[in-house]
Chain A
Amino acid sequence: MSNVVEIRGVSKSFEQFSLDQVQFEVKKGFITGLIGPNGAGKSTMIKIMMDMVRPSGGEVRIFGSSLTEDPGLKERIGYVSDENYYYENMTLRNMRKMIAPFYKNWDNAAFTRYLEMFELSEKSKIKNLSRGMKMKFSLAVALSHHAELLLMDEPTAGLDPVFRRELLDLLGEEILDENKSIVFSTHITNDLDRIADYIIFMNRGKVVFSDSKDEVLERYVMVKGGRELLDMDVRQVFVGIREGAHGFEALAPDRREAERVFQGIALLETPTLEDIMYFTVKGGKAHV
């Protein structure tokens, strides 16, 4: 199985935040979800992949090469930003005229089809579009040059539930072509529960894990039980604990170990990605 993205030991420091030795791969033909709380470094990582932010250390390979050395590779990438970066005073038609010459595989028919699907008029100006509509336009552009890799930064933010689901279905259809790969950053983990094959979880500029979604959900376990079960040794088993008046729920990173300790005395459940993110970020600090 080949990788379309390889990130090796990437570091980058900002005033209040830094990426520290980030390392992961994105497999060809799959949807990879990049999750983490706000400020975890997801957007920065996607900008690094797009060569918009230059890392201070490490290596970034897209399709086996560096975008800095070969920016022409961006023809094979569809980028969807969390912020609108198209010119506000331009109409969609003029934006299309501006963008199309840069892509050999630009497909006007596909672009028109996506605009119709997303109910966007070419006569509209970017500044008159809602946030969700701008995101739809951005998607239409990304999909209209037949990109092999879609890099999407919070694409579902600002979308209504109906279109969010349609978008996820659309991405599901896109990925049926085994040559296509999608990286999808979000803090709305429900979206990834539905479509992701692989999950990269980032927190405070570090990768917590990078694995297939199924393996992650099999490895972690939610434990729910009475507070009398919690002593210092037991607490060590958990990544994070949420304690209430009548009991606790906690996330354990090793299902076998948790089953050994709690079988028969506590309830064990498969966590959601949101559970994993929440408890990992909060650690032992969560209280009701």
Chain B
Amino acid sequence: MSNLVSLIRKDFMLSRNFLLFGVPYLLLIFIMNTKSTPFGVSLFVTFPAMMMLLTSCLQDIRNVNIRFSVSLPVHRRLIVASKYVSVLPFILIGAAFALVLSLVLQRLGYDILNLNWRVLGVSILLVPLTASIYLPLYYWLGPKGAQYVNTVFFLVIFFGMNNLGDIISAIPGLKSFILDNADMGLEKWLLGGAVYIVFIAASYLVSLRLFTSRDL
């Protein structure tokens, strides 16, 4: 097993308890929100994925647990990379969660909005984007400061989940952009994609620089 996979596995082991405790809450929010937000089912890909990342990071900053990762025979850059890459399996878990829940709720007679691929894509892309904002702050502020960052992100995610429909409607043009199925044109897609990738890459480099110079 490669060390990157082992690090991601470690993060999964640290965050899987969230699935046990978070599922009842998610179920409630899911039922409450499926009709009120254009994101519908897709939104619930984002939520578990981000919560799992935050939970694994929270475990790392408790006591002096970050020393555990650094005591392992892996380069610090791999530790940072694993946090970024771990969002991919977390997204898959979130997608599986959303799929199962939507099927169950449909069977139970809940009216669930049809799956919109653009909405699903935006929901998925939100995860690395949010992680790219969160992780440099996490590495910059260190164990004590990161506790505050975690609290803020937990609140933002919970608040955002409950009010996403209103937030989207409040931003002019955002709702129509998300739901508009018309082709934006290749240039805009490419430009958007490039900006997105550059942002994540820049976030990774900042995190790397912060963590490799930190004393633990």
**Interface positions of A (Cβ within 8 A of B):** 47, 50-54, 71-75, 79, 81, 83-90, 94, 97-99, 101-103
Given contacts A84-B64, A103-B73, could you give 8 more A-B pairs where the C-beta distance is less than 8 Å? A52-B71, A79-B71, A83-B64, A84-B63, A85-B64, A87-B68, A94-B13, A102-B3
Please, which residues of chain A bring their CB within 8 A of the CB of B216?
47, 52-53
Known: A54-B215, A71-B74. A98 touches B63 (CB 8 A): no
Which partner residue on chain A sits nearest B5 by CB separation?
A: A101
Please, which residues of chain B bring their CB within 8 A of the CB of A51?
70
Please, which residues of chain A bring their CB within 8 A of the CB of B68?
85-87
Question: Which of B14, B62, B65, B73 is the one whose CB lies under 8 Å from A71?
Answer: B73
Please, which residues of chain B bring their CB within 8 A of the CB of A84?
63-64
Query: At the interface, yes or no: B17 with Cβ under 8 Å from chain A?
Result: yes
Please, which residues of chain A bring their CB within 8 A of the CB of B73?
71-75, 102-103
B60-83 CB contact bits vs A (8 Å, 1 = yes)? 001111011011111110000000
Q: Are B74 and A54 in contact (CB under 8 A)?
A: no
Known: A51-B70, A71-B74, A74-B73. A97 touches B13 (CB 8 A): yes
Q: Are A98 and B10 in contact (CB under 8 A)?
A: yes
CB distance from B110 to the nearest CB of A (A): 35
CB distance from B165 to the nearest CB of A (A): 35
Please, which residues of chain B bring their CB within 8 A of the CB of A47?
215-216
Cβ-Cβ contact count across A and B, 8 Å cutoff: 67
Known: A87-B65, A89-B59. A54 touches B213 (CB 8 A): yes
Q: Are A90 and B13 in contact (CB under 8 A)?
A: yes
Please, which residues of chain A bring their CB within 8 A of the CB of B9?
98, 101
Which partner residue on chain A sits nearest B3 by CB separation?
A: A102
Known: A81-B67, A85-B67. A74 touches B13 (CB 8 A): no
Question: Which of A53, A71, A87 is the one whose CB lies under 8 Å from B76?
Answer: A71
Please, which residues of chain B bring their CB within 8 A of the CB of A71?
73-76
Please, which residues of chain B bring their CB within 8 A of the CB of A50?
70-71
Q: Are A74 and B65 in contact (CB under 8 A)?
A: no
Query: At the interface, yes or no: B6 with Cβ under 8 Å from chain A?
Result: yes
Q: Are B215 and A83 in contact (CB under 8 A)?
A: no
- The B1-53 residues at the A interface (CB cut-off 8 A) are 1, 3, 6, 9-10, 13-14, 17
CB distance from A78 to the nearest CB of B (A): 10
Please, which residues of chain A bring their CB within 8 A of the CB of B62?
87-88
Please, which residues of chain B bring their CB within 8 A of the CB of A81?
64, 67, 71
CB distance from A266 to the nearest CB of B (A): 48
Please, which residues of chain B bring their CB within 8 A of the CB of A72?
73-74
Q: Are A52 and B13 in contact (CB under 8 A)?
A: no
Which partner residue on chain A sits nearest B67 by CB separation?
A: A85
A-B contact pairs, 16 of them (CB 8 A): A47-B215, A50-B70, A50-B71, A52-B216, A71-B73, A72-B74, A85-B63, A86-B68, A88-B63, A89-B59, A94-B13, A98-B10, A101-B3, A101-B6, A102-B3, A102-B72
A65 to B68, CA, bound (A): 22
Which partner residue on chain A sits nearest B59 by CB separation?
A: A87
Q: Are A89 and B17 in contact (CB under 8 A)?
A: yes
Q: Are A87 and B215 in contact (CB under 8 A)?
A: no
Known: A50-B71, A52-B215. A83 touches B10 (CB 8 A): no
CB distance from B118 to the nearest CB of A (A): 39
CB distance from B82 to the nearest CB of A (A): 12
B86-118 CB contact bits vs A (8 Å, 1 = yes)? 000000000000000000000000000000000
Please, which residues of chain A bring their CB within 8 A of the CB of B3?
101-102
Please, which residues of chain A bring their CB within 8 A of the CB of B6?
101-102
Please, which residues of chain A bring their CB within 8 A of the CB of B70?
50-52
A246 to B59, CA, bound (A): 59
CB distance from B197 to the nearest CB of A (A): 28
A95 to B97, CA, bound (A): 26
Please, which residues of chain B bring their CB within 8 A of the CB of A98?
9-10, 13
A103 to B6, CA, bound (A): 11
Please, which residues of chain A bring their CB within 8 A of the CB of B64?
81, 83-85
